[in-house]
Amino acid sequence: MANWRTMDRERGTFRQRNRKPMFQLLSSQISPILNYLDEGRDIESLYDRNIVVDDEPIVKRYEEMYTDTGVYFGMKERRMFKSEDEIYRGLLVEEMLKYARSDKIAQNIQIVGDTSREIIQRLIRQLVPEVIEEASGMQQAATMLRDRIESQWHTYARFRTERIVRTEITTASNAGSLKGIRSTGIPVKKVWAAAFSSNTRDQHAEANGQKVKEEEYFIVNGEQMEHPGDPSGSAGNVINCRCAMTYERI
């Protein structure tokens, strides 16, 4: 438990580092709709508007988040098991960047974009009828709609930022840690370290202390997982997870 607390304090630095830029990116995704309303368009035309979300800024943020976090934890493990650590840093940057661009992470980025589109469409369907009924004219309706969409969107953005950052930092730190261990060539066992916070999943608490060889998979809630936060796992095993790994020499 003490090991997990130490690791999570370190991960907390990376969560804090990524909260603001992630929130800003999510907040900016509503800008095309707000600009559309600022142009004085008929608000009912929003029903037929194609909702486009630019995923590229999120892709770049994920790449930075994964390389920054993964390299730190990978180099940390190398220093614990082997002294020639700096030689590997450049290679680890490349490995984490490749990981951030893998299909595993691409699916997470796709979900971010899809969720944003769904929320925008839901807000339009919910709020347009409300403001048309309440407003005394179309100009007032457009202003009311803009204010309500912006307010509710930012509430969603704050909630989603925390969930995304918490989940992805767990994944990046554990993936980087494992890549660092593998680079040493030293045979080890992986040990699942559960978070043991008030909202820790029962199945993750039960997995605490589970040991497997480095190339093997943990079995958590009936699923194979290479490490905590493994994006191959189901949402119920991954989202908001804060578990970590330690290692034992064989």
With bands split at pLDDT 50, 70 and 90, how would you rate the model's confidence at 85? Answer: low
With bands split at pLDDT 50, 70 and 90, how would you rate the model's confidence at 161? Answer: very high
Residue 196 CA, distance from chain mean position: 20
What is the tens place of the pLDDT at every residue in 164-214? 999 999 999 999 999 999 998 999 999 999 987 778 899 999 999 999 999
Helix (H/G/I), strand (E/B), else coil: 188: strand
What is the tens place of the pLDDT at every residue in 9-27? 999 999 999 999 999 999 9
Specify the pTM: 0.93
What is the tens place of the pLDDT at every residue in 114-148? 999 999 999 999 999 999 998 888 888 889 999 99
With bands split at pLDDT 50, 70 and 90, how would you rate the model's confidence at 236? Answer: very high
- Taking only Cα atoms into account, the Rg of the chain, rounded to an integer number of angstroms, comes to 22
Phi-psi category of 40—alpha, beta or left, where left has phi over 0 and alpha has psi -120 to 50?
left
Q: What is the pLDDT of residue 82?
A: 73
CB within 8 Å of 178: residues ≥ 6 apart? 190, 214, 226, 227, 245
Work out the burial of residue 63: count CB atoms within 10 Å of its CB; fewer than 13 is exposed, 13-18 middle, 19 or more buried. Answer: middle
Amino acid identity at 49:
R
Q: Answer yes or no: is pLDDT of 231 > 70.
A: yes
Q: What is the pLDDT of residue 83?
A: 61
Q: What is the pLDDT of residue 112?
A: 95
Q: Answer yes or no: is pLDDT of 66 > 80.
A: yes
Q: CA nearest 99: which of 69, 75, 56, 76?
A: 69
